[in-house]
Amino acid sequence: MKTKILILIVCSINCFTGNVGATEQTGERLMVGDKAFWMQVLPLEQDSVLARLLHKRLSGRISTGLYRGYVGTWRLAEGKLLLEKIEEYDPEYKLREVDISGIFDAYRENGRIVARWFSGTILAQRGELVGRRERRNEQEIRYFLRKGVVKSEKQIYNTFRESSNGSFFHTIDMLFNGNGMIWEGDSTLNVKIFPNPDGTVNRVKVSRELESQKKSKRRKLTDVQLRDKINRLRKRRDSEKAESRFWRKTYSFWDNREKRFGRHHPYTQEVTACAKLMEDWDVLTLDGKIQPVQLEIKWGEDRSKRINWLYLWREKNQQDSLDMDGVSYRVDGYPLQQSPDLITRLRPHLKGAFTRNQPRGYLARWQITDDRLWLTELRNARTGELIPLAVLDPGNNGEPIEASWYTGTFEIAKGEVLGQYYPLGDTETLEVICEVEQGHVTRKTIYNNYIRPEEDTVAFNYFIQEIRSHDWDSYPELKDRTLHGKLMAYPRTDGVADSVGRVELYVNGGKGEERYHRTVTDPADPWIVLVRRAARVIPRWEVCFIKGKVKPVEIYFTIKQEGQKRQKLPEGTFVIDLRKELGGKVLGE
pLDDT of residue 235: 54
Contacts of 287 (CB under 8 A, 6+ apart): 140, 156, 158
Full residue range of the structural domain in which residue 335 is found: 308-448
Alpha-carbon distances of 269 from 203, 266, 272, 274, rounded to whole Å: 11, 5, 5, 9
Based on the domain organization, do 282 and 354 belong to the same domain? no
At CB < 8 A and 24+ separation, what contacts does 230-233 make?
A: 230/67, 230/68, 231/45, 231/51, 231/67, 231/68
35, 45 Cβ separation under 8 angstroms = no
Q: How confident is the model at residue 395 (pLDDT cuts 50, 70, 90)?
A: confident
Based on the domain organization, do 405 and 444 belong to the same domain? yes
| Residue 236 falls inside a structural domain | no
501 against 141, higher pLDDT: 141
Half-sphere exposure of 30 (CA within 13 A, CB side): 24
| Residue 247 falls inside a structural domain | no
| Residue 532 falls inside a structural domain | yes
Cβ neighbour number for residue 478 with a 10 Å cutoff: 18
Based on the domain organization, do 318 and 384 belong to the same domain? yes
Where does a domain end: 418, 448, 478? Answer: 448
Based on the domain organization, do 419 and 337 belong to the same domain? yes
Where does a domain end: 389, 422, 448? Answer: 448
403-436 confidence digits (pLDDT tens): 999 999 999 999 888 877 666 777 889 999 999 9
pLDDT of residue 234: 54
95, 101 Cβ separation under 8 angstroms = no
Q: How confident is the model at residue 150 (pLDDT cuts 50, 70, 90)?
A: very high
453-490 confidence digits (pLDDT tens): 765 678 878 888 889 999 998 999 998 899 999 999 89
| Residue 82 falls inside a structural domain | yes
At CB < 8 A and 24+ separation, what contacts does 259-263 make?
A: 259/207, 259/208, 259/209, 259/210, 260/205, 260/206, 260/207, 261/206, 261/207, 261/208, 263/203, 263/204
Task: Quote the percentage of the chain above a pLDDT of 70.
Answer: 80
Based on the domain organization, do 559 and 456 belong to the same domain? yes
324-380 confidence digits (pLDDT tens): 999 999 998 999 999 999 999 999 999 999 988 888 999 999 999 999 999 999 999
Based on the domain organization, do 142 and 34 belong to the same domain? yes
pTM: 0.73
Cα 18 from Cα 475, distance rounded (Å): 45
Beta bridge partners of 257: 210
| Residue 397 falls inside a structural domain | yes
What is the count of structural domains for the chain?
A: 4
Write down how long the chain is. Answer: 589
Based on the domain organization, do 132 and 259 belong to the same domain? no
Cα 577 from Cα 589, distance rounded (Å): 14
